[in-house]
Amino acid sequence: MGRMDELAQLLGEQYVLTGSDAEPYTVDWRGRYSGRALAVAKPATVHELAAVVRWCGANQVPMIPQGGNTGLCGGATPDDAGSALVIATSRLNAIRHIDTDNDTMVVEAGCILQAVQQAARDAGRLFPLSLAAEGSCTIGGNLATNAGGTQVLRYGNARDLVLGLEVVTPQGEIWNGLRGLRKDNTGYDLRNLYIGSEGTLGFITAATLKLYPLPVAQCTALLALRSIDDAVAVLSAARKGFGAMLTGFELMAGNCLRGVTRCYPEQRLPFEGETANLPWYALLELSDSESEAHARERFEQVLGECVEAGLVVDAVVAENVTQSRALWHLRESIPLAEKAFGKSVKHDVSVSASRMSEFVETTNAALQAEFPGVEHVIFGHLGDGNLHYNVAPGAAHTEDGLLALQPAIHGLVHDQVHAFQGSISAEHGVGQLKRDYLPKYKDPVELALMRRIKAALDPDGLMNPGKVL
């Protein structure tokens, strides 16, 4: 029996894809990274996955974990060698258990994020991880990259939403760490080691997630602003006025929102005249556990003070859920509408909010000096200091011409981030895209420790090779 026959026998022939059936799994969704795979394996249980991993170990076959394939750094794409097995988690999609007394749920790695959100809602609870790709990304991928999203300000990153994990090691062992405990001081924190490791240390196959009460009321407003400095001042006022009720504060350059309305005419920017042409906008959201009246009163008081102080030029407050969703839809459509600007060079960076304005101003100027005419496409989660600082062709460059400049643009922007004591990856991970930049910006001792951990857990180097390290 050949080795591929052995693999088919483990899963069933229809769940080992080759040839044209495997091709969609070998290209990232942006079309920037492509490779070849020996095959695509689709296990349905943790035991099947563990058996596949043991098969890979016995045959020295590299393994590429893949969830929804929505990543932006090439972390789930095989290389060109054609020797790696892509292991897709789409059939590991059970919601195993919901415990409303403990406010936890146990879900498998292949569950679509939106399905997890809905299952929590059906149980009268909130699972707060929320991002633009939630209709197709998976929990496994979210945890592998420590995804952030729009509610980090209140609830934290993906890492902060997990109590326990089930993991298949590179040797095919199953670690059952699905304890729903908020206090467990019995040794090394293996959970946080695997979260954010991008499949380089093992397979996350299931997780115990934290749940929260559903908010009684939410208030959403789109603010028109003159500057990032004003946005930071409004954020400070909102933190002081709302406390833990502040769940979202998104910053968007005006050209981003105007790009959305050009690309999707059914959407509209709810301002007119000069207010519709300001350089910056912010989307602010408050979630209240008391009452609609209490939420609205606090919301209007804080916003009113910001308008009176001259920090906010104008504000549109959603009057109902439909209007709130329309405002969020504007924000969430920016990544999709970036095609209106042409293929861009993307950066997912973090800089402290207090230095955000200076970072944007100096980096914009440096880019214009080096690459005149590029367009700055800037948006992100100001509340946690995370910017998606993207560079589009503008009128002066072609898409291909800009992409040829990508290494130089990355280098300039990342140097700026480093000078501002920031991070070159805030929530998208490292993958292939930023792997070679780590030695330049990472503390050498830190990087050496990471390599030692990788060598100890995956001595054969079969887990997602070429990613992160």
- Predicted pLDDT of residue 295: 79
Whole-Å CA distances, 416 to 116, 361, 367, 410, 436: 38, 11, 10, 10, 17
444 in a structural domain: no
Q: In terms of domains, do 222 and 329 share one?
A: yes
Residues 6+ apart with CB under 8 A from 274: none
Check: CB of residue 234 under 8 Å from CB of residue 223: yes
Whole-Å CA distances, 418 to 97, 141, 345, 349, 409: 43, 27, 18, 10, 14
438 in a structural domain: no
Q: Which domain holds residue 375?
A: 342-428
The Cα angle at residue 353 between residues 134 and 263, in degrees rounded to 5: 45
372 in a structural domain: yes
pTM: 0.91
Residue written as tokens 């997890």? 116
Q: What is the rounded CA–CA span in Å between residue 115 and residue 448?
A: 39
**Domains of the chain: total:** 4
Q: Please, what sign has the CA dihedral across residues 444, 428, 33, 193?
A: positive
Check: CB of residue 65 under 8 Å from CB of residue 87: yes
Q: In terms of domains, do 186 and 222 share one?
A: no
Q: In terms of domains, do 227 and 275 share one?
A: yes
End-of-domain residue from the set 334, 360, 383 = 334
Q: In terms of domains, do 163 and 235 share one?
A: no
Q: In terms of domains, do 221 and 329 share one?
A: yes
Strands 386-392 and 348-350 come out as antiparallel
465 in a structural domain: no
The Cα angle at residue 73 between residues 367 and 426, in degrees rounded to 5: 70
Instruction: Supply the CATH number for residue 424's domain.
Output: 3.30.70.2740
- Predicted pLDDT of residue 464: 97
Instruction: Supply the CATH number for residue 161's domain.
Output: 3.30.465.10
Instruction: Supply the CATH number for residue 293's domain.
Output: 3.30.70.2190
30 in a structural domain: yes
Q: In terms of domains, do 279 and 356 share one?
A: no
Q: In terms of domains, do 111 and 148 share one?
A: yes
- Predicted pLDDT of residue 1: 53
351 in a structural domain: yes
446 in a structural domain: no
For 375-407, b where at least 16 C-beta lie within 10 A, e where not — what string?
bbbbbbbbbbbbbbbbbbbbeebeeeebbebbe
Q: In terms of domains, do 209 and 221 share one?
A: no
The two tokens of residue 87 are: 């292991």
Q: Is 167 exposed, middle or buried (0-12, 13-18, 19+ CB in 10 A)?
A: buried
Instruction: Supply the CATH number for residue 77's domain.
Output: 3.30.43.10
End-of-domain residue from the set 269, 303, 334 = 334
End-of-domain residue from the set 313, 334, 355 = 334
Q: In terms of domains, do 196 and 221 share one?
A: no
Q: What is the rounded CA–CA span in Å between residue 393 and residue 397?
A: 5
Q: In terms of domains, do 207 and 105 share one?
A: yes
- Mean pLDDT for back-to-back runs of 10 residues, the chain (469 residues): 84 94 92 92 98 97 96 92 96 97 98 98 96 92 93 92 98 96 93 97 98 91 97 95 90 95 92 95 89 82 92 93 91 84 88 95 97 95 93 91 94 97 92 92 95 97 96
324 in a structural domain: yes
Q: In terms of domains, do 315 and 411 share one?
A: no
Q: In terms of domains, do 317 and 424 share one?
A: no
Collapsing DSSP states into helix, strand and coil, what is residue 111?
Answer: coil
